[in-house]
């Protein structure tokens, strides 16, 4: 086991985050967890709208905010005011990284585009997250995750044949785009450290981030003319992998699509005939008999409780698992043993938030504090860039910060 070191991987990296809601802030949260000094710039008084989204605590603050806003320093600047934009420009001029997720062209209109920092801060890594990217015929369109997930082709594949395309009950496109942005920033930082590149723009589009998850869908279309269709709880071309109802009304997921695993699965459900059938020994043959195989498995699970199904298949070394809700996750000993939950102090008391992955052996990330109040670090941060207390107070009075 490696010995932990005192510094996190991104210690000493200064990040200015001017995005709102989810994609940009999630990228900032990832970087802050691993040591970056992330300064979140928000509108005065109201802050990021996500502070008031979904379920709120007794203070009127989103529970989600305490997780998404963690580890950052919070300052305010009225970007509709020239003085506010000048403040932001000063902050960016001394930063290693900028994260913004405004509509393309907004930062340029404010005199804060990449070219405006080419001479001032040539090593700046300028990360931009938008619905459709900074170029192309759709770049000027507004793009929330819901719409861009559909445009990416992802939504088309979700749901059951002939049914309405389904969305997961999450802002998946935003989170995936945030992951891509953090990855792009890490690559750019590495390139700069190795002197392979100066500062550069990291251009992340929500729809492209989702399209990046589409596996072999494009080459299959181009090579074979095949348009993959929605497949419900299965996945096209791989058998058996499905969700099955048990006697107690609970569902389990079974993945028996490996050749040796399939044989063990058939023996576990007392179908020696299917286990020994040479036509089912590999996936192409099983694909032809998908309905037969699924019916055999479903018949067995429907006669047994989910607990018995899981126990039997785990004994046979077949991948199987329950479908968890968040209460199940929170109570599961494996989650707890892996350290997936961290506790933060909030004005309403201690609150569990998810740890951020991946786990690093020598330099693991950490949650130092929960998402805080709007403008909490105005005095601290603006003093660092040379403003006096009187200047800061005057800007507060004028509504600049």
CB atoms within 10 A of CB 220: 15
Instruction: Give the SS3 label for residue 66.
Output: helix
- State both tokens at 90: 């000063």
Cα–Cα distance between 295 and 262 in angstroms, integer?
14
Contact yes or no for 15/36 (Cβ under 8 A): yes
The question of whether 276 is a catalytic residue gets the answer no
CB atoms within 10 A of CB 151: 21
User: Residue 155: phi, psi to the nearest 5?
Assistant: -65, -30
User: Residue 212: phi, psi to the nearest 5?
Assistant: -65, -10
CB atoms within 10 A of CB 72: 25
- Active-site position among 37, 48, 96, 174: 174
Instruction: Give the SS3 label for residue 391.
Output: helix
Distance, CA of 201 to chain centre: 21
- State both tokens at 78: 């009225």
> For the range 238-241, what are the long-range contacts, defined as Cβ-Cβ under 8 Å and sequence gap of 24 or more?
238/283, 238/287, 239/283, 239/286, 239/287, 239/289, 239/290, 239/293, 239/294, 240/265, 240/286, 240/290, 240/293, 240/294, 240/297
HEC string for 254-273: EECCCHHHHHHHHHHCCCHH
Active-site residue list: 174
């Amino acid at each position: 086991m490696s010995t932990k070191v005192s510094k996190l991987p991104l210690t000493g990296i200064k990040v200015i985050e001017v995005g709102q809601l989810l994609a940009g802030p999630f990228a900032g949260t990832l970087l802050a967890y691993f040591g970056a000094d992330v300064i979140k710039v928000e509108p005065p008084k109201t802050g990021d709208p996500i502070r008031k989204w979904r379920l709120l605590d007794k203070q009127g603050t989103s529970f989600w905010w305490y997780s998404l806003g963690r580890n950052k320093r919070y300052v305010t600047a009225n970007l509709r005011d020239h003085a506010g934009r000048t403040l932001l420009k000063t902050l960016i001029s001394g930063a290693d990284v900028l994260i913004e997720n405004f509509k393309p062209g907004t930062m340029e209109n404010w005199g804060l585009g990449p070219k405006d920092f080419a001479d001032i801060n040539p090593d700046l890594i300028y990360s931009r997250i938008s619905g459709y990217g900074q170029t192309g015929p759709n770049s000027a369109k507004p793009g929330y995750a819901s719409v861009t997930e559909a445009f990416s082709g992802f939504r088309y594949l979700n749901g059951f044949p002939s049914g309405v395309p389904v969305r997961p009950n999450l802002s998946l496109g935003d989170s995936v785009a945030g992951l891509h942005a953090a990855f792009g920033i890490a690559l750019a930082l590495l390139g700069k450290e190795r002197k392979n590149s100066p500062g550069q723009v990291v251009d992340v589009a929500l729809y492209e981030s989702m399209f990046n998850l589409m596996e072999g869908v494009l080459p299959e279309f181009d090579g074979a003319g095949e348009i993959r269709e929605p497949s419900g709880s299965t996945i096209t071309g791989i058998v058996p992998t499905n969700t099955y109802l048990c006697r107690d009304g609970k569902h389990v997921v079974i993945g028996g699509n490996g050749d040796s695993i399939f044989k063990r699965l058939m023996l576990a459900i007392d179908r020696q005939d299917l286990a020994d059938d040479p036509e089912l020994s590999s996936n192409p043959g099983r694909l032809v008999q998908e309905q037969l195989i699924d019916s055999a498995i479903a018949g067995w699970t429907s006669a047994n409780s989910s607990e018995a199904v899981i126990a039997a298949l785990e004994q046979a070394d077949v991948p199987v698992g329950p479908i968890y809700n968040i209460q199940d996750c929170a109570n599961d000993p494996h989650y707890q043993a892996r350290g997936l939950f961290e506790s933060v102090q909030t004005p309403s008391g201690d609150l569990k938030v998810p740890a951020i992955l991946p786990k690093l052996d020598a330099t693991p990330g950490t949650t130092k504090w929960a998402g805080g109040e709007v403008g909490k670090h105005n005095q601290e941060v603006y003093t660092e860039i040379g403003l006096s207390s009187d200047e800061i107070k005057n800007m507060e009075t004028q509504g600049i910060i």
